[in-house]
Amino acid sequence: MVAFLAWYSIPPVIDHIAEDLNIPSVEVYDSNMAAVAITIVARLCIGPLCERWGPRRIMTCLLVIGAIPCGLTGLLTNGTGLIVLRCFIGILGSAFIPCQLWSTLMFAPSVVGTANAISAGWGNMGAGISYLLIPACFDGIAKYTGASIAWRVVFVIPAGICILVAFIDYFFSTDTPHGDWLKLRRQEAQEKDVVSVMEATSDSTTANDITTPPAVGVDKKYPASSSSMHQDDASIQDVKRTQTAAGALMGVFRVLIKPNVLITVCFYACSFGTELAIDNVIGQVFRSNFHLDPSTASYIGSIFGLLNLFSRLSGGLFSDFWAHRLSLPGRILAQFILMLAEGVALIGFSFGLDTSLGGAIGIMIVFSFFVQAVCGSTFGIVPFIDPANNGKVMGIVGAGGNLGGLIFNLMFRQFQPNFHGAFLCLGCITTGVAVLGCSLITVQGKSIWHSFSRLNA
């Protein structure tokens, strides 16, 4: 939540910054794309790093690293500086990866969709909170210092919150229910050494016709508790903790070329990518279409992000509900239903912009719910695609979300000020991906077509 709060702390007051520094709208849109583009690379790197060092340490580092440029926003002097600065702040967007891996490690497969949806949804809600908190703080400071000073000071607040939460994460939390990630790595290495020694000893004694009783406790590897790691035919294995850097890099490429991973990337690009793009422009949409002042438009725009309080959770719950009935095919069916509704709602909003302000807000609430619910249902599927490489899969899918955000930010830039066309195009793309992607994806050998056979059984 605090990572997204800082990541999206600039858009709510971007009009004041642009006016004070004479920044043209083209550079503002370029800064929107920069804030998303850097996160694509960061998320690809963060997945393997989480597998090596654990989600807690990576989360702490990201919050501290991202807080520094956020706090320095007040030193901006021109549009180029804005683009560069938002590029560095965009690193905070990759905090999503340790967040999702962390929750996956903490919860059983039967509820992992719900757990991931709550953690990610409340995290994404930080963007909505920024549309409430930053303008309110700005208005309060501006009463005493003026607008040109207020926007330079206000960014100290999200930066300070990031550093505080980083401190709490590092000193008052743990990576897994079983303890610290690095300690678990060392234990695994020691267990492998013991097994190797016992195997060598067994070979030696066999060669000399000496029989010894079997060693207790080292005759097999220690899998994660099977009773909690299976949901019908779905499973989540232990994440690899002991890969070398070269092995992790090769693993990323092997995972990246898997068709099911690429389809899931498209799912997330059309959900989280849509959310990222809209987070950057939603205030401008209402301001330009209904001639509102910046603060009022920001407050209305905050509704979009704040719906993450329950909308992404709803997607995870919907995925878990159908999984309980139909196992993995049920998760794909849930994805199809929610994503199709998202596409239709986005198309509806493109026409709703021609109605009254109240009507547009109402349709925004509907499409916002489904956009974020699809994020939740997508990560109800992700942990089952390649369980042994969950960190890499989450990193790649997460980066796919940012790639979608970059593409859709570029689309809004090209369509501006015609937001009607942008939302219509966005809705059509989402609908197409829903139909094609859900028809083609298979997870652990199961597809959406298996769900229909189970429903008829």
CATH number of the structural domain spanning residue 39: 1.20.1250.20
Least confident stretch, 81-85, 193-197, 214-218, 430-434: 214-218
- Tell me the C-alpha distance between 143 and 316, whole Å: 43
In a domain, 367, yes or no: yes
| Predicted local confidence at residue 227, as pLDDT | 38
Average pLDDT value for residue range 27-47: 89
SS3 230: strand
**pLDDT band, very low/low/confident/very high, at 40 (cuts 50, 70, 90):** confident
- Tell me the C-alpha distance between 142 and 390, whole Å: 46
Higher local confidence (pLDDT), 114 or 343: 343
In a domain, 342, yes or no: yes
Least confident stretch, 34-48, 207-221, 409-423: 207-221
Contacts of 380 (CB under 8 A, 6+ apart): 112, 113, 116, 117, 315, 316, 319, 320, 323, 331, 334, 335
In a domain, 28, yes or no: yes
| Predicted local confidence at residue 111, as pLDDT | 77
In a domain, 419, yes or no: yes
Average pLDDT value for residue range 316-335: 91
List the beta bridge partners of residue 231.
234
| Predicted local confidence at residue 239, as pLDDT | 54
Q: What are phi and psi of 246, to 5 degrees?
A: -65, -40
| Predicted local confidence at residue 186, as pLDDT | 78
In a domain, 59, yes or no: yes
Kindly state the tokens that stand for 247: 């092995």
Give the dihedral sign, CA 250/253/255/257.
negative
**pLDDT of 426 above 80:** yes
- Tell me the C-alpha distance between 110 and 447, whole Å: 19
**pLDDT of 246 above 80:** no
In a domain, 457, yes or no: no
pLDDT more than 90, % of the chain:
51
Average pLDDT of the chain, as a whole number: 85
In a domain, 250, yes or no: no
| Predicted local confidence at residue 309, as pLDDT | 86
Average pLDDT value for residue range 332-353: 95
- Tell me the C-alpha distance between 268 and 116, whole Å: 14
Global pTM reads: 0.76
Number of CB atoms found within 10 A of residue 443's CB = 22
**pLDDT band, very low/low/confident/very high, at 214 (cuts 50, 70, 90):** very low
Average pLDDT value for residue range 419-433: 95
**pLDDT of 194 above 70:** no
How many domains is the chain built from? Answer: 1
Looking up tokens 């208005």, which residue turns up? 139
Contacts of 445 (CB under 8 A, 6+ apart): none
- Tell me the C-alpha distance between 217 and 389, whole Å: 27
Q: What are phi and psi of 220, to 5 degrees?
A: -160, 160
Average pLDDT value for residue range 142-156: 94
**pLDDT of 344 above 60:** yes
**pLDDT of 232 above 80:** no
Average pLDDT value for residue range 192-203: 58
| Predicted local confidence at residue 330, as pLDDT | 92
Nearest to 73 by CA among 169, 8, 170: 8
* Residue 399 domain boundaries: 2-179+259-451
SS3 211: coil
**pLDDT band, very low/low/confident/very high, at 211 (cuts 50, 70, 90):** very low
In a domain, 456, yes or no: no
Average pLDDT value for residue range 208-214: 43
**pLDDT of 332 above 80:** yes
